[in-house]
Amino acid sequence: MSSNPKILILTARYGNGHVQVANTMYEQCKKQGIDNVVICDLYSESHPVFSEITQYLYLKSFSIGKQFYRLFYYGVDKMYNKRMMNLYYKIGHKKLHEIILAEQPDILINTFPMIVVPEYRRKTGNVIPTFNVLTDFCLHKIWVHENIDKYYVATNHVKEKIIQLGIHPSLIKVTGIPIRPQFEQEAKEEDLHKKYGLSRDKKTLLIMAGAHGVLKNVKELCQYFLAKEDLQIIVVCGKNQTLKDTLSPLAQAYPDRMKALGYVENVDELFHITSCMITKPGGITLSEAAALGVPVILYKPVPGQEKENAIFFEDTGSAVVVYKHEDIYDAVEEVFKDDAKLNSMKDKIHKLHLSNSSEVILDDLLKEAETMQSTKRIKGSVNYY
């Protein structure tokens, strides 16, 4: 294999996590001098209408569609069989074939579980080294297939789940989930406190309220905690302009203790100065929190990977899971009134972090791909294409 192989990264826009990991792997390739890299949202390119509808249903699962998503996530897991694989294989197969013919990739990386990719090898005999980069702290069977050459996972817990499905341990590497490099860099907290107009002497509650509008009554929550003089609040509203407009008068009334922000590009800066965060349990957000040792209060996880992520973090003692809005108040107070508990959560979540995941993954899969190609050459095999 050349020192500059052609890499095709396949992903899907069901939440931001899969695409974010794809982008992180893309940037790591560039950093290591690999410039023949293409990211493809396979489902959007092959079935745009189907993809748009299913992405809409996915977003609705955070509010009115929880039962639908529960049925999909756990139902597919239970019904996972040859018939199901054939159905998934048909979704995107034609487009995948076109892309492979056009791009002639040396390596395939999946950041979304698409059975069509490993099934393509089984159906066509076209052997391209194929690697799955899992994006959650739990496992869905749809990630696992006999024609995946190696799995890169967040924890030993996920590795054990894959082994139970019959995959050899040598084909699974615990690397953590790739995150943006700024979450693993040092920062001067004093400068960041000044930048955002906050005090270093007060505890800071970060509320990630923008994602899908799932956190209700944010204004009332802020009003309640602003009554506590030793606490300051940052609310990230994302693209939810209505929420930002609602909170702006309150932030103006407490300019030294509350910040209402829209979309924040350098959200890592906020993580650096945060004592505890209220958020949804997405795999990437949790990985970023672990990197900087930010304890989390996980609000109302959706059935599926979010709920499984939440359970894992709660079991490790690094998170508190809240299922009812009225319980958020007690959960926050419980965490902030007990410094020993807060520090324990901080320590436990940071222990879940594995450094330089994207670099470790890329180095390893390049070696694996080279070994596969060398083996083929020794056996006198024809080229991949």
Residue 75: per-residue pLDDT: 58
Contact, 306 vs 281, CB < 8 A?
yes
Q: Tell me: the pLDDT tens digits for 89-137?
A: 566 677 788 889 999 999 999 999 877 888 889 888 999 999 999 999 9
Q: Which domains does the chain have, with CATH numbers?
A: 7-176+355-378 (3.40.50.2000), 182-350 (3.40.50.2000)
Whole-prediction pTM: 0.88
In angstroms, the CA 315 to CA 56 distance is 31
**Buried b / exposed e along 70-91 (16+ C-beta atoms within 10 A):** eebbeebeeebeeeebeebbeb
Q: Tell me: the pLDDT tens digits for 181-214?
A: 999 999 999 999 999 999 999 999 999 986 555 6
Which of residues 288 and 77 earns the better pLDDT score? 288
- Comparing CA positions, the residue from 61, 58, 55 lying closest to residue 43 is 55
Residue 236: per-residue pLDDT: 95
Residue 216: per-residue pLDDT: 76
Pairing relationship of beta strands 107-110 and 37-41 according to DSSP bridges: unpaired
Residue 377: per-residue pLDDT: 53
Q: What is the mean pLDDT of residues 243-266?
A: 95
What band does 257 get if pLDDT is binned at 50, 70 and 90?
Answer: very high
Dihedral (CA of 309, 315, 319, 322) sign: positive
CA distances from 78 to 69, 132, 140, 221, 378 (A): 14, 21, 10, 39, 41
Q: Tell me: the pLDDT tens digits for 216-242?
A: 789 999 999 999 999 999 999 988 899
Residue 354: per-residue pLDDT: 98
What band does 78 get if pLDDT is binned at 50, 70 and 90?
Answer: low
Q: Tell me: the pLDDT tens digits for 296-321?
A: 999 988 888 889 999 999 999 999 99
Q: List, in sequence order, every residue forming a beta bridge with 8; answer none if it has no partner.
A: 38, 108
Instruction: State percent of the chain over pLDDT 70.
Output: 82
Which of residues 68 and 330 earns the better pLDDT score? 330
